[in-house]
């Protein structure tokens, strides 16, 4: 039977390498196995098959993609996959669209003889894949079908995997931006408030702040890190210790929790503070706002992301061909392949979905490291 592969959700550098690894690992051991590419994410499952799929993919179709950013298969979000809220004003219409999408996707997968669907994506993608898998098995109970998830998201927030494809590239992109911005803010003795991606999880902001030498960090999971007064106290202490400039890194989810006015409010508070004005020679310390945004996703994947993609893609092919990872137990049902350090692991997709997203906590080792390395209101040196 066929193996389907798609990429879903936000694009992440290294997704192409993950697709390539699944394809090559399967074909190396079972050359006759058909590989089907679905284009446009889950949307490709519910379109006309002749326009949204590549059947019986051959080697030349995966040549050269390992060095490209984004995903050559395309991606996108599918609102119809979400179960509408109970109080949605048009819930009946939304439910009908939801059921219709699942029905068409299941029929198309059946017609393509797909027994294993590899989904490279994040938390939302895995939730959608689980819905499709359940509907397929209810509709065609005698046909084998399972989902194999590969974590691909720059947020690095998938439970059960230390890292996800795309995170390392995005992290290096953000750190590179911090280093470039540092040249300007140091020259002008300014404050920069820098937004990075991360709607619910702060892993990208946290690790880029540590690696980039930021002064202050604010992430969605830790409410105390959002407090303007606490941040200003830390800047005052730094100015008393002859700090020439400050870099404040925050995840976009912080702004969303405060009505998108959080950074502007902090800017006004810093520029109006009398202590900072006095320590800055009697004039306000200028503050600039900036956002790295989608630039974090761009560019060729890092060596680490491509290596991780190779590890996880090969592990996915092991599950498809042998039903288990080498030396591991037999696996039943939908699974996700992730990593613990340099080792691939396989986990039940249900558990991954139920326990994701993986969030930063105040007792996370990296968060404690950040507090030791960044400014504090009691800065002793």
147, with CB counted inside 10 A (0-12, 13-18, 19+), is buried
DSSP per position, 79-119: GGGSPPPTT-TTHHHHHHHHHHHHHHHHHHHHHTTEEEEEE
84 sits in the region (left: phi over 0; alpha: psi -120 to 50; else beta) called beta
Which one from 116, 123, 155, 157 is the annotated catalytic residue? Answer: 155
54 is catalytic: no
Inter-CA distances, 174 with 282, 294, 299, 361, Å:
33, 10, 12, 22
DSSP 221-277: T-GGGG-HHHHHHHHHHHHHTT---EEEEEEHHHHHHTTT-HHHHHHHHHHH-HHHH
CA 289 – CA 193 distance, rounded (Å): 5
- Catalytic site residues? 155
């Amino acid at each position: 039977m066929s193996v389907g592969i798609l990429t879903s959700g936000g694009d992440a550098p290294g997704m192409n390498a993950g697709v390539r690894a699944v394809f090559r690992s399967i074909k190396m051991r079972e050359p006759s196995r058909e590989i089907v590419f679905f284009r446009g994410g889950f949307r490709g499952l519910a379109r006309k098959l002749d326009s949204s799929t590549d059947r019986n993919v051959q080697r030349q179709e995966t040549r050269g993609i390992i060095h490209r950013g984004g995903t050559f298969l395309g991606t996108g979000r599918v609102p119809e996959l979400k179960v509408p809220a109970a109080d949605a004003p048009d819930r009946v219409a939304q439910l009908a669209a939801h059921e219709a999408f699942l029905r068409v996707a299941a029929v198309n997968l059946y017609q393509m003889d797909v027994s294993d669907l590899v989904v490279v994506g994040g938390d939302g993608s895995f939730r959608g894949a689980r819905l499709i898998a359940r509907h397929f098995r209810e509709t065609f109970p005698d046909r084998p079908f399972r989902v194999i998830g590969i974590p691909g998201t720059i947020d690095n927030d998938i439970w059960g995997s230390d890292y996800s494809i795309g995170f390392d590239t995005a992290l290096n992109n953000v750190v590179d931006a911090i280093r470039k911005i540092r040249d300007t803010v140091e020259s002008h003795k300014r404050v920069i408030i820098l937004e990075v991606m991360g709607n619910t999880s702060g892993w990208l902001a946290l690790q880029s702040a540590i690696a980039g030498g930021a002064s202050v960090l604010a992430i969605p999971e830790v409410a105390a890190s959002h407090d303007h007064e606490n941040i200003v106290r830390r800047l005052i202490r730094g100015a008393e210790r002859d700090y020439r400039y400050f870099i404040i890194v925050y995840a976009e989810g912080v702004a969303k929790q405060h009505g998108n006015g959080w950074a502007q409010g902090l800017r006004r508070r810093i520029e109006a503070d009398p202590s900072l004005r006095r320590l800055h020679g009697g004039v306000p310390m200028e503050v600039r706002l900036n956002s790295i945004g989608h630039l974090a996703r761009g560019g060729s994947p890092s060596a680490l992301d491509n290596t991780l993609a190779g590890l996880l893609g090969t592990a996915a092919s092991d599950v498809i061909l042998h039903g288990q990872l080498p030396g591991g137990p037999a696996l039943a049902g939908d699974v996700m392949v992730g990593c613990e350090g340099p080792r691939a692991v396989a986990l039940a997709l249900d558990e991954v979905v139920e326990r994701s997203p993986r969030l930063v906590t105040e007792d996370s080792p990296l968060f404690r490291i950040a507090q030791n390395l960044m400014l504090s209101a009691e800065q002793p040196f």
